[in-house]
Amino acid sequence: MRQEHLVSLNIHSNARSLPVVRGAVEQLASSEGFDATETHGLVLAIDEALANVIKHGYNGQSDQPITVTLSVVQSDTGRRGLAIEVRDQGRQVDPTSICGRDLDDVRPGGLGVHIIKAVMDEAAYSCPSEGGMCLRMVKFVGEHPSAK
């Protein structure tokens, strides 16, 4: 997969920063050819990802650093898409333990990971050796594979 860096956004872990990231994602999604529904999905996914970092990674602290990196990617088969990497310096957890709760467990909240995986074509957590967590998400322009 080829990747071309577009922009890195250094924000703080608070709701005030969210419009900045949303605005960048909307702008780039539109210029890369995502339709309105796909763009909405991308914004939803990044909202959920950042909400998880703030709530679980930083326990609600509002002044901690988060870096969101947006890149254009092209798959080996030529599909273009947008890669979003969310990097924090918060609490590390085993990536394999990160999964949404059972969907049959009906109560508010806790569906962020489900939403991210439903919207994006790829989503993977990792624990960088420098600390914190990294979430890399990719969405390609066009129909989501699970919709076929």
Partner 1 sequence: MGDRGRMGFTPVFSMLAIFFIGCAKPQHFRADIQSENAGDRILAIRKAGEAKDRKAVPLIVDRLDDEDDGVRFFAIIALERITGTRLGYDNSAPSSERNAAVERWREFVRRGGHLSKDESGVAVRGGAANGVEGGAAPH
Please, what is the minimum distance in Å from the beta carbon of residue 95 to partner 1?
A: 27
**Backbone conformation region of residue 60, classed left if phi is above 0, alpha if psi is from -120 to 50, else beta:** left
Instruction: Indicate the residue among 7 and 93 with the shorter CB distance to partner 1.
Output: 7
Give the binding site for partner 1 (CB under 8 A).
5-12, 16-17, 19-20, 23-24, 27
Neighbours of 88 (CB within 10 A): 26
| Cα–Cα distance measured from residue 143 to residue 122, given in angstroms and rounded to the nearest whole number | 13
Instruction: Indicate the residue among 62 and 126 with the shorter CB distance to partner 1.
Output: 62
Please, what is the minimum distance in Å from the beta carbon of residue 17 to partner 1?
A: 6
Residue with the two structure tokens 């969907």 = 103
Instruction: Indicate the residue among 25 and 135 with the shorter CB distance to partner 1.
Output: 25
